[in-house]
Amino acid sequence: MGENFLEIKDLKKSFGTGEARQDVLRGMDFTVKKGEFCVLLGPSGSGKSTLLNIIGGIDTPDEGFVSINGDKLEEMNESQLTLYRRKHLGYVFQMYNLIPNLNVKENIEVGAYLSDNPLDVEEVLSTLGLQDHKYKYPNQLSGGQQQRVSIGRAVVKNPDILMCDEPTGALDYKTSKEILALIEDCNKKYGSTVIMVTHNEAIKNMADHVIKLRDGVVRHNDINEQKISAFELEW
Amino acid sequence: MRNPLIKRVPRELKSEWHKYLVIIIFMVVMIGVISGMYVGHDSMLAAVYAGKEDLNLEDGSFELSKKASDDFLEAMSTGEKADVRTYFIDKGTKEADKEVAKAIDEKLNEEVTAAIEEGVRTQCAAYGIADEAMIKEQISAAMDASFDEAVKTAQESEEYKKAVEDAYKEAHDKVIEAVDEEWDEVSDRYNLDEEISPVPVIIYEHFYKDAAEDSDCDGTEDATVRIYLKDSPIDMASFNEGRAPKTDTEIAIDRMHASNVGVKIGDTVKVGGKEFEVVGLLSYVNYLTMHESNTDLMFDAFGFDVAMVTPEAFKKLSARTHYSYAYLYENKPETKIEKADASDAFLKALITQTLVHDYEIEDYLPEYLRQSSNFAASDIEGDSAMVSILCYILIGVIAFIFAITISNTIEKEASVIGTLRASGYSKRELVVHYMSMPLVVTILGAIIGNVLGYTVFKNVALNLYYNSYSLPSCTAVWSNTAIIKTTVIPLILMFCINLFVIVKKLQLSPLRFLRHDLRKSKRAKAVRLPRWSFLRRFRLRILFQNLPNYLVLIFGVIFIEVMLCFAFGLPDSLSQYTEKAPDMMFAEYQYVLMGSKDNDGNTIETAEESAERFSMTTLLYPKKKAAIREGMGSGGDESVSVYGMVRDSAFIKLGNDVSEKNVYISSAFADKFGLKKGATFTLHAEYENKTYEFTVTDIVNYDGGIAIFMDSDSFNKVFEKEDDDFSGYLSHKEITDIEEKYIATVITSDVILKVTHQLEHSMGGAMNVFKYALIVMTAALIYLLAKIIIERNEQSISMVKILGFKNGEIGALYIVPTAIIVVLFSVISFVIGYILMVWIFHVVMLQMDGYFAFFMKPSSMVLSILYLLIGYSFVSVIDFIRIKRIPMDVALKNVE
């Protein structure tokens, strides 16, 4: 792994005011290296999705900063943030959020269009095992297939960071493992830094870097020296 | 790489075809009908204006008692006034000289004869001759011998010369005195002493004959037909059907008249007792309406006709030839004032030249005052008001539809938008993407609508005009008004509304889109409901949850009611006006005279007891011009009738507070322009550069017209008339003791009815088109509105289906609240729609001449609510089918 690529410093975020105020992030610090497969682990309400959204530039912290490759997100205006997401990030959501009236290939092209240096769409389709489905519409696909398309849309941009928010949250065991294997493949094949939010403890075993969150703070920040492949995971 | 999102547009169109089809139908009907009306309107006006050029419409005409000489026509074409005074003095002097010479000769002869006789008698007496016979013989001999010599001697005497000179001088002075006296009166009457700028003209013979027409050859006269020659180079005709006559048994007649009396090409008509075959149906450029006389208040296309025959046929007709001459100015006057000045100058030239050349003027009319050529055009010009009302309403509806459609789409696609924004799509890219669909739909609707407007609907508008007037055939012209009002404005509106809604919505963070959190304010605590049955509480919850959607629905229902009020109210308003118009007259008979004095200079009187003198003129009230509608048909200033009434008038009660500046105004005038007591306003003359300022002293309850009232003395002072001048008589009963030749026109309730029936006849067709178009659009709108509620609740409906609710129960949950809202607000919306319509109608009335208020019959009010409810009932059925079709996996899968 290379240099520190992502730096999180004293990150705080709260929602609501007065009695209803809820501190979601209460001062977080950690770094992620380039090309690392990083898993943010924690139970519901631990602040992991909020953290991912702040890293993704679609939410802002109350205090602290996020720096990517030396650029602080807080110093970016809205259009710079858009450009940042466009050039550097790929997003995979729990709910796949595919565009219903575009077919599989076109949904992936939606990602490719944004990148100056996109991967070959056909190649991504093959990698994701979607060649046979490329002309199908999202509602003709299973949940797992839809999530593959969602990954394809994110990966095809050839992003520096692939942000995955509970990508297997809506999938069964077998499909979940397939999806995780795909993300792993992309990480290896294209060198993207992967930041994956999950509450599934088992997934930590396939990560290079595991950050456990609880009540808005980092409880554990471990480098996994004995990571296993996605297919070896059990839960 | 092309943005792959573009591919969504055609697919979206395909998958949501029913929604977009409804919107496109709405746009097509709106654009088609309104554009058709404007295109028809502008095309017809263009044809009328082009006809004036192409068919060589005269600038005026005059008719003489006999055929004019070349000298006269040559003198007239210079436009110069003849020096009538000098002419008559010369003429009088010549005649006087003859008379004087004759008188002198007679006197001299008499005196010389007497002197010779006296000399002979004196001599005879000296010689004692007393025989009378001998004396007479001597006198006769003396006469023969010395008469000539004696005359010559007398003529050479100074005394004689002086006497002759005096006689001539006296005669000449008398001639001058007589001519001056006569001239002063004539020149006073016609202002002939004023210097004029001569208006050179080109004069054309334009003879005609008036004959009886028996259009069905049944032996009874059906109409009067005015027959012109085929080869006339001025005031020519265009042929709507058929051709010009070629033989002396062929005739071409007016198309409108033919249609009214049921004559077709190939039919035979009897004109002046002779049979003719109708070979053409035409429209004369100077007879767009069948006004037989220029003083006719209303045209009569049944009882009057114009026709064209060959010169041979013309000669053979036994009717009297009218020696009418039409003229064209060599330098065309442009403005109304210039036209008035030119015609004034020409009239002076005509009067003086006819005096000098010894002709009598039978008729004179400048073209700008000719009803038969101007009435239709000015009527058409002011005719776009109804279309404007409809246009404004529909633009509002279109704006509304786009606003709800786009906000619906954005809510529906919240996750997609959130994902795209999170992935790095810029706001601009998304704005462009979401703008493209409504733009495509509008452009599609606009193209189809305009095509239909320029083809099908244009003809509907043209037929309306052809039903009323004898208009030339026309071809569609490009109408800026149509394109601006029906296409550019909706496009801009749609663009702006969508841009506003999309940009505003996209201000939200991608996260909020991802969370479907698009509301500005967070929902407050749930309202506690009473212990009603579960379904009832559930239904109420749905109602609360959908409050914003119901607000949209209510807005839509208001729009629907505005449209239905228009559809039902417009014919009602018109028929109400038709019914009430005769009652609106303040006198049963209104006799407008040619002048207040007869040919002998005596004031025209009547023995009718209820008759009362009045004076009248027309001034103009300045109106604000409509911003968009300029050029053809933009309408001029409001025409105001100014009445001068006797002080204790039985027709209009005037107080003592009226004066030259303080006037009473009609309630129609006050209502239309919002004039109140004490308000000051300025009127101006149409053909002169004069303005008049008045103050409203009181308002007279008279809705029949835009009018002001003052006492006749003030009237005569204000308008510089003679003290005893007046325009005519108002009367409760018919006046029978005024010669017809002194009456310019008589306005009775029959005439008013003729006018209003004509109005109904002309507009009836348009109103039906509007009515059906509006009903189609109403249905389209309610379909779109009801769809929103179901669409926005798709997820919940799917969920309750999963839970085991039956379709009927779901229908009761989701359709019943909507039904309650629609029923409840149908009445309220009707009231709001009605008030809006009254206001819109008033605003539009300001743009046209005259005034009548918006009116709806109670039955129409009920119908406009009923139509909404019936329409909604159908939509409810469609809604129920829609509910049945919502699949359960909508809630299970994240299928958007």
Full residue range of the structural domain in which residue B146 is found: 84-190
> Chain B residue closest to A109 (CA)?
B4
Residues of A in contact with B426 (CB under 8 A): 79, 82, 86
What pLDDT is recorded for position B385? 66
Task: Let me know whether B808 and B848 are in one domain.
Answer: yes
Residue with tokens 């529909």: B394
Res B592 pLDDT > 90: no
In which band, very low, low, confident or very high, does the pLDDT at B627 lie, cut at 50, 70 and 90?
Answer: very low
Res B523 pLDDT > 60: no
In which band, very low, low, confident or very high, does the pLDDT at B894 lie, cut at 50, 70 and 90?
Answer: very low
The answer to whether residue B892 neighbours chain A at the CB level (below 8 Å) is: no
Res B632 pLDDT > 50: no
In which band, very low, low, confident or very high, does the pLDDT at B384 lie, cut at 50, 70 and 90?
Answer: low
Contact residues for A60 (Cβ-Cβ < 8 A; gap 6+) = A54, A73, A74
> Chain A residue closest to B514 (CA)?
A97
CB B716 within 8 A of CB B617: no
Please provide residue B518's backbone torsions phi and psi, each rounded to the nearest 5 degrees: -105, -5
Domain boundary among B714, B737, B760: B737
CB contact under 8 A, B895 and A139: yes
What pLDDT is recorded for position B895? 41
Element (H, E) at B433: helix B427-452
Q: Which of A9, A154, A153, A163 is nearest to A73 (CA)?
A: A9
Task: Let me know whether B869 and B733 are in one domain.
Answer: no
What the block records as the tokens of A100 is: 């219903």
Crossing angle of helices B336-357/B158-190, nearest 10°?
Answer: 150
Quote the CA–CA distance of B439 and B432 in Å, as a whole number.
10
Window 511-570 of B, Cβ < 8 Å to A: 511, 514
Q: Which of A97, A135, A158 to mutate to test the interface with B (most CBs of B within 10 A)?
A: A97
Residues of B in contact with A154 (CB under 8 A): 423
CB-count exposure of residue B825 (10 Å: 0-12, 13-18, 19+):
buried
What pLDDT is recorded for position B189? 65
How many CB atoms neighbour CB A192 within 10 A?
A: 26
> Chain B residue closest to A59 (CA)?
B511
Lowest mean pLDDT among A45-59, A171-185, B210-224, B775-789: B775-789
CB-count exposure of residue B739 (10 Å: 0-12, 13-18, 19+):
exposed
Task: Let me know whether B709 and B766 are in one domain.
Answer: no
What pLDDT is recorded for position B327? 95
Give the percent of chain B with pLDDT over 70: 93
CB B559 within 8 A of CB B396: yes
Residues of A in contact with B409 (CB under 8 A): none
Res B614 pLDDT > 70: yes
Res B767 pLDDT > 80: no
Residue with tokens 């040619």: B594
CB contact under 8 A, A82 and B12: no
What letter would DSSP give residue B625? Answer: P
Residues of A in contact with B794 (CB under 8 A): none
Q: Which of A211, A234, A209 is nearest to A41 (CA)?
A: A211
Residues of A in contact with B514 (CB under 8 A): 58, 93, 97
From the list A53, A91, A170, which residue is nearest B423 (CB)?
A: A91
What pLDDT is recorded for position B850? 66
Q: What DSSP string describes B159-210?
A: HHHHHHHHHHHHHHHHHHHHHHHHHHHHHHHHTTTS------EEEEE--EEE
Task: Let me know whether B580 and B616 are in one domain.
Answer: no
What the block records as the tokens of B820 is: 């309650």
Q: Which of A84, A89, A101 to mutate to test the interface with B (most CBs of B within 10 A)?
A: A101
Quote the CA–CA distance of B858 and B232 in Å, as a whole number.
56
What pLDDT is recorded for position B896? 38
Residues of A in contact with B8 (CB under 8 A): 99, 101-102
Res B738 pLDDT > 60: yes
Residue A30 or B772, more confident: A30
Lowest mean pLDDT among B285-289, B614-618, B791-795: B791-795
Average pLDDT estimate for B144-169: 84
B391-396, long-range: CB < 8 A, 24+ apart: B391/B34, B391/B485, B391/B486, B392/B840, B392/B844, B393/B559, B393/B562, B393/B563, B393/B566, B393/B840, B394/B30, B394/B34, B394/B563, B394/B777, B395/B485, B395/B489, B395/B490, B395/B493, B396/B559, B396/B562
Average pLDDT estimate for A90-109: 87
In which band, very low, low, confident or very high, does the pLDDT at A133 lie, cut at 50, 70 and 90?
Answer: very high
Task: Let me know whether B730 and B791 are in one domain.
Answer: no
Task: Let me know whether B186 and B91 are in one domain.
Answer: yes
When the pLDDT of each residue in chain B is averaged and rounded to a whole number, the result is 84
What the block records as the tokens of B104 is: 């002198």
From the list B8, B419, B425, which residue is nearest A97 (CB)?
A: B419
Give the percent of chain B with pLDDT over 90: 19
Res B633 pLDDT > 60: no
CB contact under 8 A, B423 and A109: no
ipTM of the assembly?
0.83
CB-count exposure of residue B297 (10 Å: 0-12, 13-18, 19+):
middle
B244 found inside a domain: no
Residue with tokens 């092209």: A109
Q: What three-state secondary structure class fits B847?
A: coil
Contact residues for B447 (Cβ-Cβ < 8 A; gap 6+) = none
Q: What DSSP string describes chain A?
A: --SEEEEEEEEEEEES-GGG-EEEEEEEEEEEETT-EEEEE--TTSSHHHHHHHHTTSS--SEEEEEETTEEGGG--HHHHHHHHHHHEEEE-SS----TTS-HHHHHHHHHTT-SSPPPHHHHHHHTT-GGGTTS-GGGS-HHHHHHHHHHHHHTT--SEEEEESTTTTS-HHHHHHHHHHHHHHHHHH--EEEEEES-GGGGGG-SEEEEEETTEEEEEEE-SS---GGG---
Q: Which of B43, B238, B56, B58 is nearest to B632 (CA)?
A: B43
From the list B12, B509, B514, which residue is nearest A101 (CB)?
A: B12
Contact residues for B685 (Cβ-Cβ < 8 A; gap 6+) = B619, B620, B691, B692
CB B112 within 8 A of CB B379: no
In which band, very low, low, confident or very high, does the pLDDT at B269 lie, cut at 50, 70 and 90?
Answer: very high
Contact residues for B731 (Cβ-Cβ < 8 A; gap 6+) = B587, B588, B589, B590, B591, B606, B608, B610, B611, B612
CB B461 within 8 A of CB B39: yes
Average pLDDT estimate for B211-222: 88
Element (H, E) at B490: helix B489-505
What the block records as the tokens of A34 is: 């380039």
Residue B384 or B69, more confident: B69
Residues of B in contact with A139 (CB under 8 A): 893, 895
B869 found inside a domain: yes
Q: Which of B15, B419, B509 to mutate to test the interface with A (most CBs of A within 10 A)?
A: B419
Lowest mean pLDDT among A196-210, B221-235, B330-344, B753-767: B753-767
What pLDDT is recorded for position B755? 64
Residues of B in contact with A138 (CB under 8 A): 895
Quote the CA–CA distance of B236 and B689 in Å, as a whole number.
34
CB contact under 8 A, A113 and B1: yes
In which band, very low, low, confident or very high, does the pLDDT at B626 lie, cut at 50, 70 and 90?
Answer: very low
B772 found inside a domain: yes
Task: Let me know whether B827 and B686 are in one domain.
Answer: no
Average pLDDT estimate for B13-39: 84
Ranked by mean pLDDT, the top range of B412-416, B650-654, B726-730, B839-843 is B726-730
Quote the CA–CA distance of A47 and A216 in Å, as a whole number.
5
Average pLDDT estimate for B46-60: 90
CB-count exposure of residue B62 (10 Å: 0-12, 13-18, 19+):
buried
Window 15-44 of B, Cβ < 8 Å to A: 15
CB B420 within 8 A of CB B491: no
CB B667 within 8 A of CB B706: no
What pLDDT is recorded for position B248? 92
Over residues A59-91, the pLDDT tens digits come to: 889 999 999 888 888 888 888 888 888 888 888
From the list B12, B422, B896, which residue is nearest A58 (CB)?
A: B422
> Chain A residue closest to B510 (CA)?
A58
B816 found inside a domain: yes
What pLDDT is recorded for position B254? 94
Q: What three-state secondary structure class fits B872?
A: helix
Quote the CA–CA distance of A133 and A131 in Å, as a whole number.
5
B70 found inside a domain: no
What letter would DSSP give residue B739? Answer: -
Distance from CA of B768 to the nearest CA of A (A): 42
Q: Which of A162, A74, A109, A177 is nearest to B422 (CA)?
A: A162
CB-count exposure of residue B817 (10 Å: 0-12, 13-18, 19+):
buried
What pLDDT is recorded for position B603? 86
Task: Please state the domain count of chain B.
Answer: 3
Distance from CA of A197 to the nearest CA of B (A): 16
From the list B7, B427, B511, which residue is nearest A58 (CB)?
A: B511
How many A×B Cβ pairs under 8 Å? 88
Residues of A in contact with B427 (CB under 8 A): 82
Res B759 pLDDT > 80: no
Contact residues for B230 (Cβ-Cβ < 8 A; gap 6+) = B244, B245, B308, B309, B310, B311
B50 found inside a domain: no
What pLDDT is recorded for position B890? 64
Task: Let me know whether B770 and B886 are in one domain.
Answer: yes
CA A2 to chain centre: 19
What the block records as the tokens of B315 is: 């000669």
Residues of B in contact with A169 (CB under 8 A): none
In which band, very low, low, confident or very high, does the pLDDT at B741 lie, cut at 50, 70 and 90?
Answer: confident
- The b/e string for B728-737 (b: 16+ C-beta within 10 A; e otherwise) is bbbbeeebee
In which band, very low, low, confident or very high, does the pLDDT at B525 lie, cut at 50, 70 and 90?
Answer: low
Over residues B372-383, the pLDDT tens digits come to: 888 888 777 766
Give the percent of chain A with pLDDT over 90: 26
Half-sphere exposure of A13 (CA within 13 A, CB side): 25
From the list A53, A112, A114, which residue is nearest B425 (CB)?
A: A114
Q: What DSSP string describes B331-380?
A: S---SHHHHHHHHHHHHHHHHHHHHHHT--EEEEEEGGG-HHHHHHHHHH
Domain boundary among B132, B161, B190: B190
Task: Let me know whether B755 and B896 are in one domain.
Answer: yes
CB contact under 8 A, A114 and B510: no
B322 found inside a domain: no
Residue B780 or A76, more confident: A76
Q: Which domains does chain A have, with CATH numbers?
A: 4-226 (3.40.50.300)
What the block records as the tokens of B414 is: 């919240």
Res B329 pLDDT > 90: yes
From the list A89, A96, A110, which residue is nearest B894 (CB)?
A: A96
Res B130 pLDDT > 50: yes
CB B413 within 8 A of CB B896: yes
What pLDDT is recorded for position B589? 87
B407 found inside a domain: no
Task: Let me know whether B722 and B754 are in one domain.
Answer: no
Quote the CA–CA distance of A124 and A99 in Å, as a whole number.
18
Element (H, E) at B699: strand B691-700
Residue with tokens 């800026």: B480
Task: Sort strands B208-214 and B223-229 into parallel, antiparallel or unpaired.
Answer: antiparallel
Quote the CA–CA distance of A108 and A129 in Å, as a whole number.
13
Task: Let me know whether B153 and B115 are in one domain.
Answer: yes
CB contact under 8 A, A85 and B422: yes
CB B70 within 8 A of CB B357: no
CB contact under 8 A, B4 and A110: yes
Task: Let me know whether B170 and B108 are in one domain.
Answer: yes
Lowest mean pLDDT among B32-46, B108-122, B302-316, B767-781: B767-781
Over residues B550-573, the pLDDT tens digits come to: 888 888 888 888 888 888 888 888
Distance from CA of B29 to the nearest CA of A (A): 29
Measured CA angle at B798 (ends B795, B799), to 5 deg: 85
Distance from CA of A99 to the nearest CA of B (A): 6
CB contact under 8 A, B896 and A56: no
CB B55 within 8 A of CB B326: no
Quote the CA–CA distance of B89 and B86 in Å, as a whole number.
5
Residue with tokens 């992967």: A194
Domain boundary among B190, B223, B249: B190
Quote the CA–CA distance of A187 and A36 in Å, as a whole number.
8
Distance from CA of B6 to the nearest CA of A (A): 10
Distance from CA of A100 to the nearest CA of B (A): 6
Q: pTM for the full model?
A: 0.68
CB contact under 8 A, A82 and B5: no
Window 405-444 of B, Cβ < 8 Å to A: 415-416, 418-427
When the pLDDT of each residue in chain A is averaged and rounded to a whole number, the result is 88
